[in-house]
Amino acid sequence: MILETIEIPPKSPHTRSVIWMHGLGANGHDFEGIVPELHLPDDLGIHFVFPNAPIQRVTINGGMKMRSWYDVLDLSMNQAVNMADIYKSSRGIHLLIQKEMDKGILSKNILLAGFSQGGVLALHTGLRFSHALAGILALSTYLPTLQMLKTEQSACNKNIPIMMAHGSFDPVIPIESAKEAYEKLAEMNYPIEWNEYPMEHSLCMEEILKISTFIQSVFK
C-alpha cells in the first residue's frame, strides 16, 4: 500500500524523521500545524511526514467512506475492529519508514507518532518493526492488537521509549481502554510513560509541551 503524504522538510540537513498518523476521518494536514508549536531546535534536522489513511467504509458511521486506518465495527469500550485492516495499513507505514531509511536516515532516528486510530498504527507498527526505532508517541489511543503482540513483538524494539497521553473525559476512546494498553505494555517491560489531562478527545498545550520534551529526549 503506497500512502500519500504531506511533508514538512527540516530547516537544517535532514538527520531525523517523524512519521505522524492522523485519526479517523481526518487527513495528513490534521497535525501539520502542531510542528511550529513544538518549538523543536532547527539543528535536530527533523523531517515530518504526515500520511493520509486510505479511504474506506466505516461501519460505525453507517458505512460512509472516509479516511480510516481500519474499520470500527461497534462502539463498545474496546471497539470491535477489523484487525486485517490494521495489519494492511501497518504495511503502508513500514514502506514510509523504509523510504526514510533509503534516504540514509538511521532507523534509530525515526519516531512514530499517532492520534486515536493513528496512535494504534504507531504502537502496532513500532513494536513489530524489524529495526530499532527512536520512539513512539501514542496520543488518545489504545491497542486492539495487544494480545497478538506477545508473539509478534520485535526484539529490536523491546526497549523503545513510548509516551502515551489521554484525556480524562475522552468520549471517543474511553480512558480505561488506553490505561489497559499502558498497563499491559508496562507489564511486558516496555519503557512507557503515561500522561493524563483534563480534556476530551483532543490535545492541550501542556500535552504539546510534553510531546516536544519527549521528541527531544529520544533525538539526543
CA torsion angle for 127, 97, 202, 83 (degrees, to 10)?
-50
Active site residues: 116, 170, 201
Please name the residue that has the C-alpha cell 505522524: 20
Please name the residue that has the C-alpha cell 511550529: 36
Lookup: cell for 71? 474499520
Q: Where are the beta strands (DSSP E) in 77-208?
A: 110-115, 135-139, 162-167, 192-197
Secondary structure class of 163 (helix, strand, coil): strand
The amino acid sitting at 208 is I
